[in-house]
């Protein structure tokens, strides 16, 4: 009888591998995600190096709104559509960044990737080519949000950006996009496809909170914000006038 060599043993062990009776594998994912979510809520540990604690970020949003509104919050009119909150404030604080949104937020993906990753139906206007830029980012509540931008020359330029259209798609009812508009009456009630929305023509400020940061932008274009149904709020930024913007919004599916 020949003594088994390493090859014999290796093959026999590999054959045994499928027959070992390990204890049943416990369900681990719910406990892990609950611990991570709880840690974020309490600010126990930041998910990213150098990142302010989540609770601190929430505070930062409140402070930023307060500063930008120059103590006008108490008198501000507050409107909300899904994840968007709109405040009419007496004046805007000058000097906020004018960096175009698509270049700084989240990470770049293709439209197909966005559709797979988003967790909701990503909408685009009918008849347009694929967006030039698609970015995906996580909201502070863990939902994925999508930003699409086009440089289609059929539309007028958006001042301060390389784009002609920007569409932001935010899920959920928890507010994490704050728009500050100067002056009473700067926001018009509108309807898009029978759903509630708002139209903002004046330059305004946008505070966008992601899971990693809070960014502030000065928006020079016109903006249509509306409830698109299925728990999604849309924000279309364009230099088109209201009537044309509404017509375009009606094609977004």
Residues that bind other proteins (CB under 8 A): 1-4, 6, 8-17, 19-23, 25-33, 35-37, 40, 45, 47-49, 106-107, 112-113, 115-119, 121, 137-138, 142, 144, 210-212
Give dist(CA 134, CA 132) in Å, integer. Answer: 7
Enter the tokens of residue 7. Answer: 């090859």
Beta bridge partners of 165: 150, 238
Given the complex with other proteins, which of 102 and 197 has the nearer CB atom?
A: 102
Please report the DSSP string for 42-73 in residue order.
HTSS-SSTTPPPHHHHHHHHHHHHHHHTTT-G
**Smallest distance, Å, CB 203 to other proteins?**
30
Using the structure block, give the residue that is written with the tokens 């139906």: 121
Contact 239, 156 (CB under 8 A): yes
Given the complex with other proteins, which of 132 and 138 has the nearer CB atom?
A: 138
Give dist(CA 52, CA 50) in Å, integer. Answer: 6
Find the length of the chain: 253
**Smallest distance, Å, CB 26 to other proteins?**
5
Enter the tokens of residue 161. Answer: 């950006």
Given the complex with other proteins, which of 32 and 74 has the nearer CB atom?
A: 32
**Smallest distance, Å, CB 177 to other proteins?**
17
**Smallest distance, Å, CB 199 to other proteins?**
31
**Smallest distance, Å, CB 23 to other proteins?**
4
Enter the tokens of residue 10. Answer: 């290796």
Given the complex with other proteins, which of 93 and 115 has the nearer CB atom?
A: 115
Given the complex with other proteins, which of 23 and 185 has the nearer CB atom?
A: 23
């Amino acid at each position: 009888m020949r003594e088994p060599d390493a090859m014999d043993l290796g093959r026999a062990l590999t054959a045994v591998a499928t027959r070992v009776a390990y204890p049943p594998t416990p369900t681990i994912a719910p406990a892990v995600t609950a611990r991570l979510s709880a840690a974020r809520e309490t600010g126990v540990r930041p998910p990213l190096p150098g990142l302010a604690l989540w609770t601190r970020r929430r505070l930062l949003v409140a402070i930023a709104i307060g500063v930008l509104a120059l103590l006008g919050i108490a008198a501000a009119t507050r409107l909300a559509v899904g994840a968007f909150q709109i405040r009419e404030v007496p004046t805007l604080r000058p000097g906020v960044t004018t960096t175009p949104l698509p270049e700084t937020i989240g990470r770049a993906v293709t439209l197909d990737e966005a559709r797979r990753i988003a967790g909701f139906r990503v909408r685009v206007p009918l008849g347009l080519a694929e967006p030039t830029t698609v970015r995906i980012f996580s909201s502070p509540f863990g939902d994925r949000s999508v930003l699409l931008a086009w440089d289609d020359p059929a539309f007028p330029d958006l001042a301060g950006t390389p784009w002609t259209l920007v569409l932001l798609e935010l899920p959920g009812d928890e507010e994490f996009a704050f728009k500050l508009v100067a002056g009473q009456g700067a926001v018009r009630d509108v309807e898009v496809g029978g759903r509630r929305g708002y139209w903002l023509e004046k330059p305004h400020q946008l505070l966008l909170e992601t899971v990693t940061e809070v960014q502030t932008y000065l928006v020079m274009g016109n903006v249509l914000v509306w409830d698109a149904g299925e728990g999604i709020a849309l924000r279309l930024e364009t230099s088109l006038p209201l009537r044309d913007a509404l017509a375009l919004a009606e094609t977004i599916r």
